[in-house]
Amino acid sequence: MVRVPAATSSFGSGDDRIGVAVDRWLTASVVVHPEPHATTTVQRGGTLAKLDVAPDADWIAIGVNAACKAAGRVTPRALRIRTSSQIPVARGLGASAAAIVAGATAATGILGLKLSDDELLEACAEVEGSRSSVAAAIFGGVQLASGTTQRTTSLVVANGLSLAFAVPDFGVEGARGARAVASEGAGATTHGAVPDSALVHGLASGDARALRSLLDEDAQRAAERRGLVRGFELVCGAARQAGAFGATLNGSSATVVAVVPEPSARAVAEAMCAAWREHGVQADAFVNPSQVDGRSMVVHHDCEDVPATAGAAS
């Protein structure tokens, strides 16, 4: 069985550079179908229960194939996949990255593939497209993906900092358009490297002034998004009033993430949800621990399958 965390992509600048592991989990078990005429089957639960995707097109099956390709092995013809997830789909929390990492990790266990963590990262990022979210799902914590090399670096987060998330009941299409509007015309230096550097410093030092400046700057860039992510400014304002250093859109999604002093985290999350309710939007709020582990795996050699919900976080 494999357990993989959710992960932000494009935290802060929106350039797919910083990923953060998030305390929402996908679990999966993968078994090779030995029968000669079997086909791949997928049983889904949790947030994936209503997903209507052909088994061979499931991201977990794609992750298995990616790992086999990287290891120079033939992908098994038929798999039995059981999975359950707490990760909201299409909300910028890496649901696809978690599934791909789950499939690739499971393949290393059931097929004995000899892939290093870095090789696994490359295989998954090639099909997922977001190195930062894949890195966070594999390694946990906060990961910085280099814009010029294939390197990723684990970042230190100051004691006492937390992230509060507010996940609305509408999806990412409008937010993607809005993020594109906000970043249009911004060069790689001003929109990518400089905000990333400031965010790294702010997270590592807990420097309130640096964090406020960075998040206010990002919120100002988001001004043109207000018509596409309804209630965005009110939600960000509510977060600041409740004690956050600031809040912004999480990557290309409509999810809002706030950087907060740990004692204020729950109040900030609740304030963001309350602000959204004023706009008729239902939202799920939660506080992320300062450190979330990356993926883990237990290989069961003595049983055919295990419950897909086993080991899920509460």
- The string of pLDDT tens digits covering residues 261-296 is 999 999 999 999 999 998 888 999 999 987 899 999
Query: In the prediction, which pLDDT does 307 show?
Result: 42
Give CATH 3.30.230.10 domain extents, the chain.
Answer: 2-148
- Per-residue pLDDT, averaged over 134-159, amounts to 83
- Per-residue pLDDT, averaged over 142-155, amounts to 75
Query: In the prediction, which pLDDT does 119 show?
Result: 95
Name the superfamily (CATH) of residues 156-288.
GHMP kinase, C-terminal domain (3.30.70.890)
**Which of 55-59, 165-169, 219-223 is modeled with the greatest confidence?**
55-59
Does residue 266 or residue 299 have the better pLDDT? Answer: 266
pLDDT tens figures, 34-48? 888 899 999 999 999
Query: In the prediction, which pLDDT does 101 show?
Result: 97
pLDDT tens figures, 54-63? 999 999 999 9
List the single range of 130-144, 216-230, 289-303 with lowest mean pLDDT: 216-230
List the single range of 69-83, 161-175, 219-233 with lowest mean pLDDT: 219-233
Mean pLDDT of the chain: 83
β partners of residue 154: 143
pLDDT tens figures, 88-132? 988 889 999 999 999 999 999 999 999 999 999 999 999 998 888
Query: In the prediction, which pLDDT does 173 show?
Result: 52
List the single range of 4-8, 62-66, 305-309 with lowest mean pLDDT: 305-309
The fraction of the chain above a pLDDT of 90, given in percent, is: 54
Does residue 83 or residue 202 have the better pLDDT? Answer: 83
> What band does 185 get if pLDDT is binned at 50, 70 and 90?
very low
Query: In the prediction, which pLDDT does 114 show?
Result: 92
Query: In the prediction, which pLDDT does 174 show?
Result: 44
Q: Domain 2-148, what fold?
A: Ribosomal Protein S5; domain 2 (3.30.230)
Exposure letters 119-132 (e unless 16+ CB within 10 A, then b): bbbbbbbebbebbb
The fraction of the chain above a pLDDT of 70, given in percent, is: 79
Query: In the prediction, which pLDDT does 313 show?
Result: 39
Give CATH 3.30.70.890 domain extents, the chain.
Answer: 156-288
Query: In the prediction, which pLDDT does 310 show?
Result: 36
